[in-house]
Structure 1
Amino acid sequence: MKSYKNLKEKAYEIIKNKIIMIEFKPGEYLEEKVLSELLEISRTPIREALNVLENEGWIESFPRKGIFVTRIDEEKIDEIYEVRKNFDPLILKMAAKNLSPLKLNLFKHKFENYEEMLEDEFLKYDADFHSYVHSAVKNKYVLKMMKNVYEHNRRIRRLGVQKVPHQRIVDSNKEHLEMIDLILNGEIDKAADLLRKHIENSHKYYLNVLLDKDL
């Protein structure tokens, strides 16, 4: 039973990661047999993993058609960013007392050197910074509640990173630097307000680059 559970979890993590990293593209057809051969895992754990992934919104199944990776549309982007812009500022306030000035200054150094960043590095440091803030909450219920949201947001950003204009990287890093300075100065409410604005700006940019919406 333990071995079966481990195989199911392994299949779940691998397939989900491939969806997040756009190795399995939005709208792509997924076949149990092919996944079983690719992952070298029998079809029963694969099927169970797919059930979990469907419940979490990564895939969708259609009678007589099969299983497909969910597409990224305007509704999905809006819903993800609506959650983030309302909950992330609160999470920052909850985490503030646990944030290390040393680590914040390390992030500050990274963001100050944004001109040397490639798109993938920008994505990594941005995600690392927000992950650090989230982890500092020390509240397992908050982390569990938001985990799926952040992972879906990663897929949106991964899909759009090559299309994001350099100016957005410049603006985003400036927002991060200002946010870090506010946190270091103990101005947490202002930092939370800026974080909400930062998320709103990201929302607009990703709608624009992924859906060609001029907001």
Structure 2
Amino acid sequence: MWAAAEGGRRSLAEKAYQVISDRLVTLQIRPGAPISDEQVASELGLGRTPVREALKRLESERLVIAYPRRGTFATEVHITDLGYISEVRQQLEPLAAAAAARRLTGRDRAELELLLAELGSAGTKDLRELIRLDVRVHRAIYAATNNPYLEDTLIRYGNLATRIWCLFLDRLPGLADHVLEHGQLLRAVIDGDADRSAGFAAGHVAGFESAIRKVI
């Protein structure tokens, strides 16, 4: 009985985490904005406990910050962090892509094939849909590494990078083309080509940083 209750609580906290994380990463919750656990709980139809657990997790990921007696706020987006974030991703994204190519399971392959097919309609999606598709592709590759530590680390840095991307979304041309670049990466991973996968991943991260710096 206790185990079932504990599992249910964790699943509710996970639900809260997914919703709040998506809003923070896509800047639906603006940097510096206050976050009320009571309001979020009411909106999602959850108790305050799972929401608070989700916010603690998001604080460890540098997406929110809590101040005693002041409350919880979305962290600011500092463009000066771009170089630091890219430095980490330049090392870990190629590592993850190569690992995914080597360790791909049947389930992983099916997920990547679906995403590859969805990329074909990227040109018809709006900006927010493109951002979410970009995130889903990256996270599917992280999951396909079958290394939970690498996956968790890259999700954190990927979220921080996506917030910077969204900050300049209205000034960045060719977002659909940027997302479509994932097609080569996905195909290389699906084909089990670790070297090509790593190369495409490295190029994608470099292209991301370059595009941001051009509009700063």
8 Å Cα contact 1:134/1:143 also seen in 2 = yes
8 Å Cα contact 1:114/1:169 also seen in 2 = yes
Gapped regions of structure 1 (runs ≥ 5): none
| Separation (CA, whole Å) in 1 of partners of 2:69 and 2:143 | 42
Counterpart pick for 1:169 among 172, 176, 179:
176
8 Å Cα contact 1:120/1:161 also seen in 2 = no
Query: Which digits, 9 at most, give the CA deviation of each residue in 1:85-120, with x for residues without a partner?
Result: 110101111111327788767655554665444434
8 Å Cα contact 1:123/1:161 also seen in 2 = no
| Separation (CA, whole Å) in 2 of partners of 1:130 and 1:8 | 23
RMSD of equivalent CA atoms? 3.7
Against the structure 1 CA distance between its residues 64 and 161, is the aligned structure 2 distance closer, same or farther, given a 3 Å change threshold? same
| 1:23 aligns to 2:28 (yes or no) | yes
Matches within 5 A, 1:1-215: 2=5, 5-6=9-10, 8-43=13-48, 46-63=51-68, 65-97=70-102, 98=104, 110-111=118-119, 115-166=123-174, 168-170=175-177, 173=180, 175-179=181-185, 188-208=194-214, 212-213=215-216
- What secondary structure is seen at the aligned counterpart in 2 of 1:151? helix
- So what's the TM-score if we normalise by structure 2? 0.71
Aligned residues: 208
- What secondary structure is seen at the aligned counterpart in 2 of 1:61? strand
**More deviation in 191-200 or 156-165?**
156-165
- What secondary structure is seen at the aligned counterpart in 1 of 2:72? strand
- So what's the TM-score if we normalise by structure 1? 0.71
**Code of the aligned partner of 2:204:** H
1:29 deviates by: 1.9
Query: Which digits, 9 at most, give the CA deviation of each residue in 1:53-102, with x for residues without a partner?
Result: 32221112345544321011113333332222110101111111327788
| Separation (CA, whole Å) in 1 of partners of 2:151 and 2:169 | 25
